[in-house]
Every structure is written in structure tokens, then in C-alpha cells.
Structure 1
């Protein structure tokens, strides 16, 4: 039995047309998509397959769409007896990881992230908050430069993705000033991100409080296999711990580099990215170039991966 770590992408990986090939190829995927449409009260499937892109990109649509796409692929893998030894996801992707680990039911998770997306959109005035990717500086260097960025200039570390790639988040004015300061401090590039809010920053605390109230009405089970939490980069399985960390995740940095380093320490046979795009596979290579990575994003890559798992280790 191969030791596999499943990782799931987050917001930004969405694209019109994603999931269509899976929907056409597997009856179980079609059934799951149909159930999601019914649960949400609108056709997420049509939005995923036909767009328009600007509607799909809205946080309240992108989040359930990406989760549904990833979870559908995981369900097919489960049908073939392919299960992970551990899971993780990038921000939103953590919910897909929780489904794969048995802590959340698929349709419950779709509804949950739809609500999460709406709360995140509403948490801070549109256009007043933003994020930027900082290339070429360490976490410690960036944290040092961000000291004193508070109040109307509040800026925090948001995503610690891999060596030399860290995302900051905060007020628009704060991120703009911080970007100039970080460039002067030696950053190779500071790239503004096309996002609608200051996600994973202290400015998301109001959303976390509303989300905690909503989450209290959702059934979260003990995970069958460890989920490496964004907030701590440590394995978690108990339901109470999972709920607490999901609330904290909204305003805390995503420690994805540390999660990948933990998977390397666990000596997994492969880190498998399940969902649309190859963003996480690229991060894995920057953390550990020789680590085997597999990308499962369509029926062909899924069937190839299933075949590989059946071969002798």
C-alpha cells in the first residue's frame, strides 16, 4: 500500500469548463453535481461549465465550485479503493481535505463553503482590502518590514507558500505602502493579486465570528486520517479541534510550506494534487524538488493515477 498525501487547491484555480469531463465520464460525479445544485438552490454546474467567468470568480461561487470539483474526483478515487494516509488543502482546499478525510459530508461542505464565501465577501468593503505576492524575501524579513503596519495601514502575512513566495494581506493603502517598502528591502517582485478582499488577515475577524455561529450548526465528524491544518501545519482529527481551527483559518496565515515539509518528513510515496490546475504541485517542487508529485485534474490523469497505485511499490 502506497503512502499518499492528498492536497487540494484553493481559490484562484477556478476556470470555466472545469469538471465537465469528469461529469460526462462518471455517473457518480454527475449525481454529486446534481445534488449540489439542489442543495444550493441554483445551478452551480451550469456556472462551472458555461460561465460567465466573472460570476464563477465571485468568492461565493468559486469556493463551492472548486470544492465540488475536487471532492468529485476524490469520490471516484474512493470508489476504486484509493485513499490517502494524510490530507491538506490550501485555504479553501482544507474543506476538500476534510471531506477526503471523512470529517465532512460532500454536500454539507459545498453549502458550508458557499456561506463562507459570502461572509468573506461581506466582511470588508469591496475595493478597500487586497493582497500581494512577495517574491524573494524570507518570512522573517517580511515580518520585520511589516512591523508597525496597523490601523488603516494594517497588513499581515497571509500565505506562506514556499521558499521565496509569501502573500501579504490587509487594507489597500497598507498593502500598497508595504509593497513599496518590501521592494526597497530587496524583494525581487511584489505582485498585486486579483482578489476581492484582505483574506487571512486580522480584517477577517468579523467574518470569523459569523462563520463560527454558522459552523456550530454543521455536523463535523472525527477525521479518519489526519488533516494537516492551515493554521498550525500540524495533524488534526478531533471534531472540536477541526471546528476551532476552521474559524481561526479565516484570519490566520496559511502555513502551506510547513505542511509540505511535514509530508516530506513523513516520507510519503507521493503528494497528490486533486482538483483544477497545478499550483500546489509547483509549490511541492519548490519545497522538495525530488518529491514525487501527481496531478489529478481530469479522467485521463485520474485513471493513470489509479493504475499507478495498483502497481508494486
Structure 2
């Protein structure tokens, strides 16, 4: 589906906490977009972030940055949602999903009241479930409601592999797919370094059983926990990931990025948002990349989908 382009390269961010502010800073620092609006329930916070960012303008390309409200969504190319509650001690992931689903419904309703015709990008956790909520409430086509998915998990995976093998991370090609969370999985069968399969770099023939590779994946999966233990929250990595995704959309790059998108029979999976490599351009998700997964990987992806489908059904009730 072709979306009428506004040609403004305008981005609205809903939520100016750590993630939203880090994302806004990444956009400014990389010169992505031309018009940036910050929305937050705490209007003074949004105003403060806008002022702080504007004071860096002499060091970067010109960009209009301001605090605003939902009426700014009318002519925006993208609305990026980072707002939501954090998980409290003793709270389950379902508790968090239920709480944030209510917040998400309210935000998306406000966005759509203003005749929004662009792309919604969701980063609030649990991101796969909440992206499905945004899709359900917005009424937009599935390709225009995208979650940040496993973009950060994939980046962590590539980085840790690059550290292990002492290779530039930009030359490591690997994916984490499925849930952005505990049931995610590494696609070992498709890991390559400079086009060379990983098992040729001295791993066991069954890469997934190599102790060092197992440790790398565990460090990827548990990275957020490790960061939160040390500094309270994780936000720089996802801020940069969201900026990368925004650039692919605003500049019509047709880039392959691991985003959360709606499955409609791909891999034998129906009606659930999951992280998967997809081609992303100005219209959102152009198409999903269907990797030739081995049996173990496919089973793990189906298990991840089952967990997310059950959680999504509960919050959509």
C-alpha cells in the first residue's frame, strides 16, 4: 500500500523519559529528520528536553525541535511511542503488559483523533504485545504499525560476536528473532562473518551447542538485566536503534532490520507480533524476510509466538 507522503520528515515522540530523550538526542546528533515534537504528560519535562536539545543546534544540522501536543500528529510522518510504566519489584510481565496496554490504548486513540496518516513505531515494553495493541486500536494497516522488536537484541548479538572474534561489528551478520524478551532466540544457522559461516571460525559443528556461543547468547538475552542492575535502566542502545529505524523509514532505504511485525501465516505462525528481519521503507514494513530456519529454531520461534499470543489475547480482552 502506498502512503501519501507529507515530505516534512516530521517525527513526534510520545514519552520523554530516558528512552525518548536518548532517541531524540540520537536524531539530532545524526541529523535525521527536520521537525521533532516532544509530547509528555509532564509538559515541563518535554519543554526542558526541547530546550536542552535546541541548545546543541549550533553543533549540528538545523532541525525544528519543540514540546507539543497530539494535534502535531496530523502532518507527522512518524509517531514514536516510548511512554509507559516500568516493571516494579514483584510485578509479573503480564501485570506490566496489562498496565501499559491501558496507557497505549489512550495514546493511540489520541494520535488517531488527529487524522494521523503516517507510521506508528512502538518501543514501550513488552514491545511485541503493545505493538499489537497499537495496531488493534489504530485501525492502520499492519505495515504501518511497527515495534522496535529485536533490533537492540540483534545489535547486542553482533557486538558480542564481534568482540569475541575481534571483527568490526558491521561485518558480523546475525539475527535475534521472536519475542523481545526471555523467549527470544539466536538464528545460529545464519550467522556469518564477512560472508563466512560461523562454524568455520573454529566453533563446534553444531554452533548452538558451543559453550562460548551459548554464553554469548545468554549475555544478549540477559543484557537488560545486567545494565539495570548497574545503572537502573537501559536507554542509549535502544535510542540509537530507533534512530536507525527512523532513518530507514524517512529516507525510504529498503533496509533489512529486525522489527516486530504482524505474522499472517509466515513460518506457520498467525496473528501475533514478533521480531523478525523485514524490509523497511517509507511505507513501513514492505515485506518479511523468511529465513530457512532449522527444526530447532523453528520450534523455538513457535514457542515464543505461543507465549506472546497468549499474553496479547489477555490484554486485548
The answer to whether the superposition gives a TM-score over 0.5 is: no
The alignment's TM-score, normalised by the length of structure 1, stands at 0.29
Write 1 or 2 for the structure with the bigger share of strand. 2
